[in-house]
Homo-oligomer: A and B are copies of this chain.
């Protein structure tokens, strides 16, 4: 086994360290020399591109169009929506000057004090303010509605403690911002986009998610309702993977976006916003991967099949490689992405370990004897099971294995998740068990006080009121007060 693989910390030893090492060793991303900002490396970016491509198509099917709005936001915009500024304006990158000049010793540059901006500009932490300031000019009549825009862009939040993909100062995301003539239509859109996220997570990422609505405390700054998808990582912690916000008329009013409705009356436009980010990469990595490295769902793997020749002589290499190229051609014809790795400077054992680390779903290995026998060795990454199969019909067999793996890793993750969801009615029991992770369904009295106490005492938070859960009234496990429903509580990333 190759050196770098041996060095990967086991999940059971230190899950957090396993994740940090895996991201770097699998060539997904690394820290840059700019505090809290990451470099997304080509292999990691190739996965993100696949995610983008699929999500973008799903958005467009619902009528959404892409656009682009400015990176910088005037400071005063942030103060226009009172709740929004409380939630967002504080930790952000502030542009104060627009020019540098050569220093006195002529060996460097300094900020030119003469080039101070009249009003500071903020690097967008999210774009509701600048976008609604723009919508003011686009929306005058109900005939101009709905406006359904999305942008793929970078955003910045000055996080103090950062982790690759999970929490970085700069990250990539998409943010959808829609404007509607009625409350009902806006609420429907917010829920629709959450469903798009849930479908994407489950069908393509093979990550099972729980859909629900956030408590008031956990809502997006400026939202009337925040819908969320919550995934469970292998340490039992929750990872919020996407959110969709019903913003009511808050931004319509803050930016004076009024329109004439069908009844010929002036009204404020209704808003939603919704986003997923490179954080999804963290969810993908942590849900499926193991102590040998990444496990990628075939639907998002940049290389779905790697083909490796085993040989003693260069004649053997040429013969085996010719056969592998032929098989690669058959796979490509089925739309499968392949790589034939005949690099002679690396031993097969090194390659095996490296592609396991990188999570390539299927490995095909052929030696001289296989060539004679018309066989090939097929290894699938999720189970690490190897079997020798006929070359005849191999493309169809690989396709079948890829499809099966996509389903299998989803089912595995769902089984794990379901085994770690508990109904709990006793706060002492909760406090003992929350340390081991898992999702707890507990009755909650609906007060921010109880919520704060749970967070204070256990570091766990209310993730959501889940949609798909038959609710019965009960008693809040902390306060003993009546509770209409159970909420999902967990420690979270």
Contacts and interface: CB of A to CB of B under 8 A. Distances in A.
A479 interface: no
A100 B92 contact: yes
Given A33-B133, A93-B98, A94-B97, A39 B69 contact: yes
Looking at A49, A70, A121, A133, which has the most chain B CB atoms within 10 Å of its CB?
A: A70
Contacts of A99: 90-92, 94, 158
B71 A170 contact: yes
A439 B72 CA distance: 38
Contacts of A156: 71
A313 interface: no
Contact of A78 (B79, B94, B109): B109
A222 to B, nearest CB: 15
A327 B280 CA distance: 41
A217 interface: no
Interface in A58-112: 65-76, 78-79, 85, 89-101, 107-109, 111
Nearest to A122: B100
Number of copies: 2
A121 B34 contact: yes
B40 A67 contact: yes
B37 A72 contact: yes
A130 interface: yes
Nearest to A41: B67
Contacts of A95: 93-96, 123
A66 B46 contact: yes
A78 B91 contact: no
Interface residues of A, number: 62
B46 A172 contact: no
A472 interface: no
Contact of A94 (B91, B98, B122, B143): B98
A104 B42 CA distance: 47
Interface in A16-51: 30, 32-34, 37-42, 45-46, 49
A120 B149 CA distance: 34
B96 A111 contact: yes
Contact of A98 (B49, B79, B158): B158
A447 interface: no
A134 interface: yes
Contacts of A42: 65-67, 149
Contacts of A314: none
A14 interface: no
A458 interface: no
Contact of A39 (B33, B100, B123, B134): B134
Interface of A: 30, 32-34, 37-42, 45-46, 49, 65-76, 78-79, 85, 89-101, 107-109, 111, 120-123, 130, 133-134, 137, 143, 149, 153-154, 156, 158, 170, 172, 345
The 10 closest A-B pairs by CB, nearest first: A42-B65, A37-B70, A40-B68, A94-B97, A98-B158, A79-B108, A34-B70, A96-B96, A93-B95, A32-B70
